[in-house]
A and B are shown apart, each in its own frame.
Chain A
Amino acid sequence: MDKTVSDLATAVAGIEDGMTLMIGGFGGSGAPIELVHALIDRFRATGSPEGLIVINNNAGNGRIGIAAMIDAGMVAKMVCSFPRSADPRAFTEKYRVGQIGLELVPQGTLAERIRAGGAGIPAFYTPTSFGTDLAEGKPVAEFDGRMYVQERWLKSDAALIKAELADTMGNLTYRKAARNFSPLMAAAARLTVVQASKIVRPGGIDPEQIVTPGIFVNRIVEVADAQQEETLMRAGVAYG
């Protein structure tokens, strides 16, 4: 079993028009910039994929990563908790003129919906958002004297994930706080694509250190010296 692929274009093959795509990262921490840019490269060359529903905590920053996908016109809708950033122009401009949709989800609910998607739990109850505008239209129920809101699972056609170490079987570790949503998304996607700073042979990662087991991973591509979204943003880099 060897899940490695040789290049970024092969890694993102099969992500097509109208798909739902989870992208790991919280702000720039854990953002799989190279995989996202490989998808933008294909869009520029072929006009596809477009009409994507993208699930991420945020909605892009500056002119790179998810923001560059939005700028390019690839994204029909964002599912996120916080579509603001230091430089939110890409999303804001399209949102104001109705060219991009938004499903706003509280951050913990977003995480748990993705976790539920990966765990085969179609719905769950949470106290979060009860009595607020974000609970409108959702079923509510009382448990032990307290009110809860029913939320449904989130699954996706594909997930793009940034890992630190991977072995060829897809077992992953993450760097510092960069894991954030990625272990949840890896489980919730039908096709999980990982860029790792280094790929090692099976046994090259201590099994006790593995955060995401390889069963949740389909493809791995090595990206040594991966770029950091925040650093690019601060340098004023625009992609494409």
Chain B
Amino acid sequence: MTEKLTNAQIAWRAAQDIADGAYVNLGIGFPEMVAKFQPPGRQAVFHTENGVLNFGESPPEGEEDWDLINAGKKAITLKPGAAFFHHADSFAMVRGGHLDVAILGAYEVAENGDLANWSTGPKGVPAVGGAMDLVHGAKRVAVITDHVTKDGRPKLVKRCGLPLTGVGCVTRVYTSLAVVDIESQRFVLREKLPKLSLDVLQAVTGAELLVDGTIGDLIVPEV
């Protein structure tokens, strides 16, 4: 694989699908980058599980208020129109279908929409946080991920081998090579890098990519 999108570019692509006025939860880590790439003229409201709506960027170093943090326990700031609420209300927003989109990372995504992103197996101390809650309730559950693991194995697979976070929950996957929808328990290829052949893409994908109509060019600026 010679050419692929950077994490920032994958985040940029995912950000293009967030509508003006959407309520959005971004998973801890890589998905947090999506907030930086909101298209001009659109404003999303970001939710963090520990109890804040409409938070903004991190404060400058030295100006942190450690009562004001996100789910990753990083210091945040508030935008005008922000709100605080307790955890039961926060997860009512999550499970109750009130979020428009949740964007999460993944170890594996299966063609049936199953997601594995919380545990790499029985070793170490298990920790789940809000991952299993977030995959239920948002109107769209999208994943952003490299197309393959660090040692080159497919992350888009027929069935997940790692412990599941949720069953049949993912609707779209943005990878370093392609944009793939999950429809009727199958991967449907929507966009791919223009110079990448379908054969090469299929070879690094662990389940069949269906083509339904035209395949768009995945063109992302340097970001």
Residues of A within 8 A of B (CB): 26-30, 81-86, 88, 91-92, 95, 102, 104-112, 114-115, 126-134, 174-184, 211, 228-231
Interface size on B, residues (CB 8 A): 37
Q: With contacts A29-B67, A129-B132 known, what are 17 further pairs, Cβ within 8 A?
A: A26-B69, A26-B73, A28-B66, A92-B125, A102-B125, A102-B126, A112-B91, A126-B95, A127-B136, A127-B137, A175-B67, A177-B68, A178-B67, A179-B51, A179-B85, A180-B50, A231-B66
Q: How far is the CB of B159 from chain A (nearest CB, A)?
A: 12
CB <8 Å contact, B95 and A127 = yes
Closest B residue by C-beta to A133:
B163
Q: Is B201 an interface residue (CB 8 A)?
A: no
Give every chain A residue within 8 A of B200 (Cβ-Cβ). none
Q: How far is the CB of B94 from chain A (nearest CB, A)?
A: 6
Considering the complex, which residues of chain B in the window 2-23 have a beta carbon less than 8 Å from any beta carbon of chain A? none
Q: Is B196 an interface residue (CB 8 A)?
A: no
CB <8 Å contact, A27 and B128 = no
Give every chain B residue within 8 A of A230 (Cβ-Cβ). 66, 69, 73
CB <8 Å contact, B86 and A81 = no
Closest A residue by C-beta to B119:
A133
Separation of A131 and B51 alpha carbons in the complex (Å): 27
Give every chain B residue within 8 A of A27 (Cβ-Cβ). 69, 73
CB <8 Å contact, B86 and A132 = no
Q: Is B127 an interface residue (CB 8 A)?
A: yes
Separation of A237 and B68 alpha carbons in the complex (Å): 21
Separation of A29 and B132 alpha carbons in the complex (Å): 23
Closest A residue by C-beta to B167:
A131
Give every chain B residue within 8 A of A28 (Cβ-Cβ). 66, 69, 73
Closest B residue by C-beta to A233:
B66
CB <8 Å contact, B164 and A181 = no
Considering the complex, which residues of chain B in the window 86-123 have a beta carbon less than 8 Å from any beta carbon of chain A? 86-88, 90-91, 94-95, 114, 119
Q: How far is the CB of A177 from chain B (nearest CB, A)?
A: 5
CB <8 Å contact, B88 and A180 = no
Question: What total of A-B pairs shows CB separation below 8 Å?
Answer: 138
CB <8 Å contact, A106 and B130 = yes
Chain A to chain B contacts (Cβ below 8 Å), 28 pairs = A26-B87, A27-B73, A28-B69, A29-B50, A81-B128, A82-B129, A83-B127, A92-B125, A106-B131, A106-B133, A107-B91, A107-B130, A108-B87, A108-B91, A108-B95, A110-B87, A111-B86, A111-B88, A130-B166, A131-B167, A132-B132, A132-B166, A177-B68, A181-B86, A182-B86, A184-B86, A229-B66, A230-B73
Separation of A83 and B119 alpha carbons in the complex (Å): 13
User: A84-B127, A177-B69, A182-B86 are known contacts. Are A131 and B166 too (CB-CB below 8 A)?
Assistant: yes
Q: How far is the CB of A28 from chain B (nearest CB, A)?
A: 5
Separation of A83 and B126 alpha carbons in the complex (Å): 7
Among B50, B65, B128, B132, which residue has its beta carbon within 8 angstroms of that of A26? B50
User: A127-B95, A181-B86 are known contacts. Are A84 and B130 too (CB-CB below 8 A)?
Assistant: no
Interface 0/1 of B34-51, CB less than 8 Å to A: 000000000000000111
Separation of A82 and B130 alpha carbons in the complex (Å): 9
Among A86, A88, A181, which residue has its beta carbon within 8 angstroms of that of B87? A181
CB <8 Å contact, A184 and B87 = yes
Give every chain A residue within 8 A of B125 (Cβ-Cβ). 83-84, 88, 91-92, 95, 102
Separation of A85 and B69 alpha carbons in the complex (Å): 14
Give every chain A residue within 8 A of B69 (Cβ-Cβ). 26-29, 177, 230
CB <8 Å contact, B84 and A179 = yes
CB <8 Å contact, B66 and A29 = yes
CB <8 Å contact, A228 and B66 = yes
Q: Is B145 an interface residue (CB 8 A)?
A: no
CB <8 Å contact, B130 and A179 = no
CB <8 Å contact, B128 and A134 = yes
CB <8 Å contact, A177 and B88 = no
